[in-house]
Amino acid sequence: MEVTLLHNSPLEVVIKAIRKCYASEGKSDSGKSFRGHDDSFKDAKWELGPKDKALIRHIIKSDHTSTLEHLTFSFDIDGLSRAALQELARHRHASLSVKSTRYTLKEIRESEDLEPFLVDTGDVDLDGLSYAQLCDLQALLKVKDVPNDRAKYPLPESFKTSLIWTINARSLRNFLKLRSSKGALWEMRDLAEEVFKLIPNDMKFVFEDYVEGVTDDN
């Protein structure tokens, strides 16, 4: 599985949302600092101030986490199994755009090597079963003209999918809590780990209290 962070909105919007609620915009200590070589504007970088960071920690502790919905992340997830995709889709407060099986079935029809289409579980017997199933499907599709909306039914659960996933920080906290736990499906735990790693370092503190196991090595 390959996961890429395509885009994230700025933390600045969360500060503005919280301070709007408390009418304390003037107390924000975040902003652009000029630490570049020549103090020019192009080197200015927005930085989170200690007061604002403490405020975010406070709203998390007091469960005022609707303000975190203003912070969003978009990921490109490639190579997640259909088995894991149906679990990912259970997270209702996120948006998914998944590559249509119309195109993957076309690739199966034309491909000489089917192994790259399947997620490896690490169990040779189980992986062999999935492979045989896909080979059988390919053989059938070569001799029979079956429409794609029927041909997708025998696809194995280990068949790889590709999608764009957009989620806000409140929902991502819930996802990381549930899917980094030891009870979660191994592939979902792998996904949670990859996603957490890709969150920009200065935003990781928003999620740290909700991540089990993922941060053990850090």
Ligand X SMILES: Cc1cc2nc3c(=O)[nH]c(=O)nc-3n(C[C@H](O)[C@H](O)[C@H](O)COP(=O)(O)OP(=O)(O)OC[C@H]3O[C@@H](n4cnc5c(N)ncnc54)[C@H](O)[C@@H]3O)c2cc1C
Site residues (vs ligand X, CB under 6 A) = 90-93, 171, 174, 178-179, 183-184
Two structure tokens written together for 81:
């199994």
Beta bridge partners of residue 32, listed in sequence order: 46
Active site residue 102: no
Q: Which residue's Cβ has the minimum distance to ligand X?
A: 92
Place of tokens 């998390």: 60
Minimum separation from the CB atom of position 164 to ligand X (A)? 17
103 touches 144 (CB < 8 A)? no
Q: Is 214 exposed, middle or buried (0-12, 13-18, 19+ CB in 10 A)?
A: buried
Minimum separation from the CB atom of position 40 to ligand X (A)? 44
140-147's contacts with Cβ under 8 Å and 24+ in sequence apart are 141/105, 141/108, 141/109, 142/109
- Output 92 or 150, the one with its CB closest to ligand X: 92
- Output 16 or 64, the one with its CB closest to ligand X: 64
Minimum separation from the CB atom of position 184 to ligand X (A)? 5
The catalytically annotated residue of 19, 170, 173, 179 is 179
Residues 6+ apart with CB under 8 A from 132: none
Minimum separation from the CB atom of position 178 to ligand X (A)? 4
- Output 122 or 183, the one with its CB closest to ligand X: 183
Three-state helix/strand/coil letters over 125-179: HHHHHHHHHHHHHHHHHHHCCCCHHHHCCCCCCCEEEEEEEEEEHHHHHHHHHHH
- Output 64 or 91, the one with its CB closest to ligand X: 91
Minimum separation from the CB atom of position 111 to ligand X (A)? 33
Distance CA 144, CA 139 (A): 9
Distance CA 25, CA 19 (A): 5
- Output 178 or 198, the one with its CB closest to ligand X: 178
Active site residues: 179
